[in-house]
Amino acid sequence: MDRQVDQKSPIAASDEVQVDCIWPGPTRLGECPIWDDRRGRLLLIDSEGKAIWEMGPKAQDARVWQVSDVIGSIGLCEDDRLIAGLASGFAFIDISGAEAKVTHIGNPEPGLPTRLNDGKADRAGRYWCGSMSLDFKTPAASLYRLDTDLRWHRMDAGITVSNGIAFSRDDRALYFSNSRLDQSFRYDFDLVTGRISNRRPFVDTTAYDGRIDGACVDTDGNYWGALFEGGAVGCFSPEGKLLRLVRLPVSCPTMCAFGGPDLATLYVTSATFAMTPEQLDQEPQAGGLFAISGLGARGLPEPRFAAGGG
């Protein structure tokens, strides 16, 4: 699948950047790489495979836990459990033992043709999670904020597929992607109250191949987004300008996150579910986990959901 980028956009290149597939998977829908700084381990999920993986920074000593539900996203908790957006709603997941223990919190969209998808904790300890329409077409999905008292609030609606959730370094902006419609937004964000306002366009993804799936922010405040069906990860300024593009040997990267002991490695998950048999033959590393080094960028520690009960 040949991918081109608008050549009018400046792209910074570096001979030091190295892209390695460090774990072959393959996942059907790899998502949510998260660096657990307390344990020095990397977490990720296979959303459609209903699996949570944990491994070392070079993908060594991998362990897996199966759950009975499709997993849209996971986040770290202060009590060392995981917070998750499942097809059946919000839940805690304890992976401290041989088997995953799921404690359901509640479903914000019962009876709708949707499920929870992309999610991220903010630095006040809340969990933000958006849903997606199962047909990838109907604007029936919403963006939610799950507070530490385990009550959720609908923050925006009319969404098709929620992706790209990340917070600016100064906690004054929330980034969001309505990915199937090639829409990328920036909201004003109040960390103290948890309110968002003034939604406006952020990255014009129609200028590039692919659309923003999962994303993160680095210590310079730049926004890194996996370009699904674009075969790359893009780095964008806080104003939405493309700064650099890192090519990958797969068409469908899904989410990126900085990790490793120094938070200088960009981990990128990928997917196979949308690919034809011919594409899979051409991309033998599809569904794998990639580590990008030599970027000269570092990530921020992953915030934790602050609810203590379950």
Q: Taking the CA atoms of the chain, what radius of gyration do you get in angstroms?
A: 18
Residue 254 covered by a domain: yes
Could you give the number of structural domains in the chain?
A: 1
270-299 pLDDT per residue, tens: 999 989 999 999 999 999 999 999 999 999
Residue 60 covered by a domain: yes
Q: Stretch 51-58: mean pLDDT, rounded?
A: 98
130-179 pLDDT per residue, tens: 999 999 999 999 999 999 999 999 999 999 999 999 999 999 999 999 99
Q: Stretch 33-43: mean pLDDT, rounded?
A: 97
List CB contacts of 195: < 8 A, sequence separation 6 or more: 189
pLDDT for 205: 84
Residue 9 covered by a domain: no
pTM: 0.94
Residue 8 covered by a domain: no
* pLDDT tier, 16 (very low <50, low <70, confident <90, very high otherwise): confident
Residue 307 covered by a domain: no
Mean pLDDT in the chain? 94
Catalytic annotation, pick one of 46, 156, 209, 213: 213
58-107 pLDDT per residue, tens: 999 999 999 999 999 999 999 999 999 999 999 999 999 999 999 999 99
Q: Convert 108-123 to b/e letters by CB count within 10 Å (16 or more is b).
A: bbeeeebbbbbbbbbe
- pLDDT exceeds 50 at position 6: no
- pLDDT exceeds 80 at position 240: yes
Share of the chain above pLDDT 70, in %: 94
List CB contacts of 108: < 8 A, sequence separation 6 or more: 89, 90, 116, 131, 142, 144, 152, 154
pLDDT for 126: 98
pLDDT for 206: 85
Residue 299 covered by a domain: no
Which domain, by its residues, includes 103?
18-293
pLDDT for 308: 58
Q: How far apart are CA 220 and CA 297, in angstroms?
A: 8
213 is catalytic: yes
The CATH number assigned to the domain holding 255 equals: 2.120.10.30
Residue 308 covered by a domain: no
Share of the chain above pLDDT 90, in %: 91
